[in-house]
Amino acid sequence: MFVGRTAELALLGAELRAACAGRARTVVVDGPEGIGKTALVRRLVDGEAAERGCRVLAVAGEAGERGLRLGLLRELAAEAGRLPVPVRWPPCGLPGRERVTAAGQAVCDALAGAPAGGPIVLVVDDAQWADTASLHALAYVLRRLRGVPVLTIVACRDLGGPWLPDGLRRLLTADDAVHVPLGGLTATDLADLSAATPRPPDRPQGTLGAEAAGRLHDHTLGNPLHARALLDAVPLPVLEDPAVRLPAPATYARPFARRLGSCAPAARRLVTACAVLGDGCPLHVAAAVAGRLGDPLKALEEARVLLDLGRLLRRTGRRRAAAGRLAAARAVFVRLGAPSPAERCLQELEACGLETSATARLGLTPQELSTATLVAHGLTNRQIAAELFISVKTVEYHIGKIYTKLGIGSRVALAAKVTAGGA
């Protein structure tokens, strides 16, 4: 089921045809969560790209694997290997920057040396979750693809975010790159979506009328993820009733509830006070309303000191000590819902360059490593689940596997192993 997006598909189709004609083209699709970036790209890949016999290499960033240096590029290299073409992935021993360049070159060589065939479509979805080293390497690849018939599509949440290195940002926003900012679907699209939404046999079937589709549009801003959640949860006659106040879609409410649930009680009180007082309320007023708020503010202050200290330690070559401080600071920022400083911690952590050796030494999968690292930083299973966007059951499963692999049986032993392996 796919509705609307005629103009966007036309833009993407034109770029695809340009690539088929032998030119390297770059398209950036950006927009908030659930707006339909993945669905749009998939529509192109399964539709016109398939009809034109394109070869598709698709990779996606993963929120829980941002600390895995070159993780995304390694996946891209594996995809390129299917062309089929040998890929010379650089050895582990190379120093950081050289390894990034060598990894980029390995992908360039594979793309340029691929056997003749249809044009190549290279999709990087959820680029905002790619590790920074891969984003640098991707910029290296894009700069060298000029004469190769490749359409690169980068889908991401926010081109202005701190996750995007300047070099790649310049390439993605250059005059010859096409920008497709995705907004909501129209009310008509939502009516079409309601017609195409399968409903249980005991529920009334049908299509939303124009007025109800308009109300759904106003309520969800046309976001298909949220609109679909409401179409699934609320019976049609209720949606049609203008007197009914539509609920918050579960897809919208759940992440808030999860984040809030993982906050310390004092932070929760502060968030609740801010929510009641509304946008722009001064912090001291919210703090007074929430009462007894020393803790989160103090934690924030302490985390800032840890971040500064971690930076200083890294710059003076004490990467092991730096990583410990930075990881602790990041955990606090994440729990207090402060994404920008949490992002800065992650960048500093990546710059410490310790993650890859940890995986190699401990023999854990990327998900297991992320879980192990958070356990070592003292997060509970619930907090880890919230941070990695997975269920508590999955966290428990990963921890079980980690214990077996490392031959240990406690969180304390795990923390010791991770510290030894990661530093």
Ligand X SMILES: Nc1ncnc2c1ncn2[C@@H]1O[C@H](COP(=O)(O)OP(=O)(O)O)[C@@H](O)[C@H]1O
Question: Which residues bind to ligand X, rule: CB under 6 A?
Answer: 1-5, 31, 33-39, 193, 224-225, 228
Q: Which helix (H) or strand (E) holds 152?
A: strand 150-156
Cis peptide before 339 (omega within 30 of 0): no
Burial class (CB in 10 A: 0-12, 13-18, 19+), 200: exposed
User: How far is residue 382's CA from residue 380's CA, in Å, rounded to a whole number?
Assistant: 5
CB 129, min distance to ligand X, A: 11
- Using the rule CB under 5 A, is 38 a contact of Mg ion? yes
User: Which residues, listed in sequence order, are joined to residue 150 by a DSSP beta bridge?
Assistant: 120
Non-local (6+) Cβ contacts of 26 within 8 A are 142, 151, 152, 153, 154, 171, 172, 174, 176, 177, 178
* Comparison of 39 and 264: residue with beta carbon closer to ligand X: 39
- Using the rule CB under 5 A, is 60 a contact of Mg ion? no
Please give the residue whose beta carbon sits closest to Mg ion in the complex.
38
CB 340, min distance to ligand X, A: 21
Of Mg ion, ligand X, none, which one sits near residue 309, judging by CB under 5 to 8 A according to partner kind? none
* Comparison of 58 and 415: residue with beta carbon closer to Mg ion: 58
CB 37, min distance to Mg ion, A: 5
**Binding segment toward Mg ion, per CB under 5 A, in 35-43, 83-91, 186-194, 383-391:** 35-43
Token pair 């479509």: residue: 121
| Residue pair 127/156 in contact by the 8 Å Cβ criterion | yes
Of ligand X, Mg ion, none, which one sits near residue 2, judging by CB under 5 to 8 A according to partner kind? ligand X
- What tokens does 317 get? 């070559």
| Residue pair 100/167 in contact by the 8 Å Cβ criterion | no
- Using the rule CB under 5 A, is 39 a contact of Mg ion? no
Q: One symbol per residue from 128 to 167: x for binding Mg ion (CB under 5 A), - otherwise; what is it?
A: ----------------------------------------
Of ligand X, Mg ion, none, which one sits near residue 1, judging by CB under 5 to 8 A according to partner kind? ligand X
Considering only residues 356 to 375 of the shown chain, the ones binding Mg ion according to CB under 5 A are none
Q: CA torsion 409→413→414→417, rounded to 10°?
A: -130
